[in-house]
Amino acid sequence: MDNNHNGKMRRKVIKQGHNTLTITLPTEWAKRFNLGAGSEVDILERDNGLFITTEKNGHSRKAEIDITGMDNPTIWKYFMAVYREGYDEVVVKFDPNLKLDHPYKFYTRYRSDLKYGRESEKENPVEFLQDLVNRFIGFEIISYDKNSVIIKEISEATSKEFDNSFRRVFLLLQEMIDDTCESLKTENPKLLRHIHEVDINLDKFHDYCIRILNKIGNKDARKTSLLFSTLYLIELLGDEFKNIAIHLFEDTVKGINFKNLLQMAEQRREQLTLFFDCFYHFDIEKIKKIMDLDKKEFLTAKDKYKHTKSEEEKELLHHFRLMNKYINALTELRIEMEF
């Protein structure tokens, strides 16, 4: 009888001959794919286990998108979806006469370009897709014709690459908070002009981590869903730092109390540093310290709101308070990983 709980099945390893070990296939699974004596299956060796697939499922996954009539944000959403879901090949179709805005038109990089009079020209579909694909790790355009482009994965995702990319996400977020603190300390918003580039890199490695989790999962399958949530919250934190940079860089800073903002930023930096350390080396004392900083922020935030008349400063304070909520949620997820 199959022991099946949440998709997990237990099998006994059977010794046959001197050097051969075998296991049986689940009956229902074999029937579903019409497998019988003599049928062939593919066995894929991954870092976190062996995967048995039928010939049908062993083939690469292929998606097709027609971007004709889509605006930039919609194209981004479709492309991110097939990338994160782990598709190996994407065929993008289009009207050859199509003219598109630069992929980053509605992102911070483009807004910065507008500020300095560097508005990008319209692009043809192939130019647009090349700029877009450069954002996604492991994807490359391998061929194109007048009305379509074929994009394929050129390197296989592994759990080691997940670990390296996950650490990279942490480092990029640390860079964002360090730069924000330095900008507030020196009262120099121009130091944050490049933060959109840092956020783009953070999103790039974030999406790559999501892709790997969807393709091969985590070594500890139980933690996969927790890692999805952790990555989601880290991306939200990156967005908050980006939003702060936009406010400081584009809005008037007259009437803003940089000292108050710096205090909030320093608290977030301390919390995040503790969380990063604790993620890899769990320490209950560091968890307590994060909670102590949370209480401190709760007691002082209202006072900061009360003593400012600047709407810009209130908006910035709001972003820092949102960060506190995200860090609390990250801490809860980290604790859950211990059980």
pLDDT tens sequence across 181-215: 999 999 998 899 899 899 999 999 999 999 999 98
Q: Are 197 and 110 in contact (CB under 8 A)?
A: no
Q: What confidence tens digit (pLDDT) does each residue in 282-330 have?
A: 999 999 999 999 988 877 777 777 778 788 888 898 999 999 999 999 9
Q: Write down the mean pLDDT value for the chain.
A: 86
CA torsion angle for 70, 74, 75, 81 (degrees, to 10)? -140
pLDDT band per the 50, 70, 90 thresholds, residue 251: low
Closest CA to 297 of 321, 275, 322, 274: 321
pLDDT, position 303 = 76
pTM equals 0.81
Q: What percent of the chain has pLDDT over 90?
A: 58
Q: Is residue 52 scored above 80 in pLDDT? A: no
Mean pLDDT across 144-167: 92
Residue 67 has pLDDT above 60, yes or no: yes
CA atoms within 13 A on the CB side of 327: 32
Contacts of 212 (CB under 8 A, 6+ apart): 157, 158, 159, 161, 162, 165
